[in-house]
Each structure stands twice: as C-alpha cells, then as structure tokens.
Amino acid sequence: MNAGTQARLDRIGRDGRYVVVPMDHGITLGAVTGLKDIESTIDAVTRGGADSVLTQKGVAPRVHPNKNDAGYVVHLNASTVIGPDSNDKRMTGTVEEAIRVGADAVSLHLNVGSDSEPTQIEDLARVTETAERYGIPVLAMTYARGPGVDEHDAESLGHAVRLGEELGAHVVKTAYSGDAESFEHVVESTRLPVVIAGGSPAGDEATLKAVRGAMDAGAAGVSMGRSVFQHDDPEAITRAVSAVVHDDEGATEALERAGLSARV
Ligand SMILES: CC(=O)[C@@H](O)[C@H](O)C[C@H](N)C(=O)O
Ligand SMILES: O=CC(=O)COP(=O)(O)O
C-alpha cells in the first residue's frame, strides 16, 4: 500500500479499527436532527472519541474548526429520499476536490443490486484509480439494495463488500446482517477492514449489541451516522461505541461506562 494511503488511513482510524461518524445525510435526508447545528454535533462526537467524521464537500468549512483533530472523509456521491430513486447515487465530487477541502480520505456509496449498480461500479473504479495516484484512502459503502434484494442477507452483503475490494477500496462499509455468526461470512468475504452502518436508530442497547456482534465476527469498527448524530447525547453514545470498537468492551458495560442506561 502507498505510504501516503496508509498514513491517511491512520488519520481516520486507530490501530486498524475505525469509529467513523458519517453526516452526509444532509443531502439524503435534509437538515435532520443533529445536522442543523452540525458544528456542535461534530464537536460532540469527536470529543466522544470518533476517529473521523464524514460529510459532503460543501460543509467542509463547518467541519475543520470543530473536529478536534479527528480525521475527515469527504463523500463523493449522493441521492435524496425525495428524488425518483434513492438507490441511484450520482457523483457529487472528485478526489481532487476532496483534497482541496482538506480530506484525509474519500468515500463512495454503492447499492449492489440496484438498477444503477453498473454506473456505481464504474464510478468506484474511477475514484480508486484517481485516489491511488494521490495516496488517498477510499471507504466504499457497499450496500445490498435493490428490487427483490434482502438488505441484511449475509451472502449479498458478503458479495457487496467483496465488490469493494475488487474495485480497489481500502475499507468497506455495509449493513449489519443481524448476528455475529452470519456476519462472519461477510467479514470472510474480503481481506479489507469491514465496518458496519448503524441504519435507522433502534435504541442504545440494540446499537451497541450490533457493534459488539460485528466486532465478535471480525469487523474493524463502524461508519455509524444516525444512531450517533441523532442521539440526545452524541458524545456519550460515541464514547460507548468507541469502547466496544477500541477497548473490546461488552455492550452493557460500554453503555454504563458512558453514563447511558441499557434501554431499548
Ligand atoms: C439514509 C440511509 O438509508 C443511509 O443508509 C444512507 O444510505 C447512507 C448514505 N451514506 C447516504 O446517506 O446516502
Ligand atoms: O454514510 C452513511 C453511513 O455510513 C451509514 O449511515 P447510518 O445512518 O448509520 O445508516
């Protein structure tokens, strides 16, 4: 691996594990809870131990003053939930733009199984080629999503993360399959570090149990957005997630250590 790529990977994670808090949802969902005052949210999650934050390029000026020396990932494609097809992710930036706005890494979202999969495959291939030339790590968000696709099927998730590796990504993110045993298949489908998304918030206990299960299956951490940035105490939940990812804490112990009761 290019020395610059490795050095930048070490800026968005720690010791090969990752607590990334993505807040690119401002395009997907709009200015939802946690994203209106994104400055405070970024400050809170990075004080809580997030290794890096992730946004679209346009809000970069609102990131740097508040990220407390955490790493920064710029997301390069998007869609909206009000558009014709939220699975149809279109390019919103380039690797060069990401470098210009101070990114340590870039990310791209693919919906494997969607009608727009072929274009997204081409997009990721181009992004990894350019990123390699600049020594910029690529986080591929490879979901199993599309007509008739089971978004939590371990076989499909394993296929999605392997696609990310085959196209030159350095870290892959996907949905959690729901239990450690099935998620082992996902992790074993690639040599890359696999991190999990949080999905729609389902309560602190469910969130931490998913993180614990994924880590037990061999995952390398999380790229967890809404369950963190929409929490009523983003710093505390980040602290709990980081305790599981980086300190191998149990779900309940991590919640208690962060001052959060184990509630549904
Ligand atoms: C809002 C969602 O369904 C998330 O899983 C998004 O797909 C995550 C993605 N980065 C996005 O916001 O487009
Ligand atoms: O960019 C978005 C993610 O990586 C996952 O977001 P979620 O809100 O945890 O599903």
pLDDT digits (tens, 9 = 90+) for 11-31: 999 999 999 999 999 999 999
The pLDDT value given to residue 263 = 53
CA 240 – ligand 2 centroid, Å: 17
Q: List helix spans (H) across 36-179.
A: 38-47, 60-63, 95-100, 117-134, 154-166
Amino acid at the residue 198: G
With a 6 A CB cut-off, is 108 part of the ligand 1 pocket?
no
Give the helix, strand, coil percentages of the chain, each rounded to 5. 45, 15, 40
Active site residue 173: yes
**C-beta of 28 in contact with ligand 1 (< 6 A):** yes
For 111, the enclosing helix (H) or strand (E) is: strand 105-112
What single DSSP character describes residue 73?
Answer: E
**What integer best gives the mean pLDDT of the chain?**
97
Q: Is 94 annotated in some ligand binding site?
A: no
Is 198 assigned a ligand-binding role in the annotation? yes
The topology under which CATH files domain 3-257 is: TIM Barrel (3.20.20)
Q: Is the pLDDT of residue 262 over 70?
A: no
Stretch 252-263: mean pLDDT: 88
CA distances from 200 to 134, 204, 206, 226 (A): 34, 12, 11, 7
What is the pLDDT, as a whole number, of residue 264? 46
The answer to whether residue 207 scores a pLDDT higher than 50 is: yes
| DSSP structural state of residue 145 | -
State the Cα–Cα distance between residues 103 and 99, nearest whole angstrom. Answer: 5
Token pair in block for residue 220? 């390398």
C-alpha 106/C-alpha 99 separation (Å) is 9
* Ligand closest in space to the Cα of 173: 2
| 24 marked as part of a ligand binding site | yes
123 given a catalytic annotation: no
Catalytic residue among 24, 123, 153, 204: 24
Predicted confidence band of residue 261 (pLDDT cuts 50, 70, 90): confident
Helix (H) or strand (E) holding 90: strand 90-91
Task: Name the residue type at position 211.
Answer: V
Q: What is the best residue among 108, 124, 141 to mutate for testing ligand 1's pocket, by most ligand atoms within 8 Å of CB?
A: 141
Domains of the chain by residue range: 3-257
- What average pLDDT does the segment 237-242 reach? 98
Task: Kindly report, residue by residue over 45-103, the tens digit of the pLDDT.
Answer: 999 999 999 999 999 999 999 999 999 999 999 999 999 999 999 999 999 999 999 99
For 102-150, the pLDDT digits (tens) are: 999 999 999 999 999 999 999 999 999 999 999 999 999 999 999 999 9
Which amino acid residue places its CA nearest to atom 10 of ligand 2? 199
**What ipTM was estimated for this complex?**
0.91
Q: Which ligand is nearest to the CA of 114?
A: 1
> At 6, which helix (H) or strand (E)?
helix 3-12
Spatial separation of the C-alpha atoms in residues 77 and 119, rounded to whole Å: 12
227 has a pLDDT exceeding 90: yes
Q: Is the Cβ atom of 224 under 6 angstroms away from ligand 2?
A: yes
Q: Please work out whether the CB of residue 11 comes within 6 Å of at least one atom of ligand 2.
A: no
DSSP state letter for 89: -
> Catalytic site residue 143?
yes
Q: In angstroms, how far is CA 143 from the centroid of its own chain? A: 11
| Tens-place pLDDT, residues 165-205 | 999 999 999 999 999 999 999 999 999 999 999 999 999 99
Encoding tokens for residue 205? 């206990």
- State residue 8's pLDDT score: 98
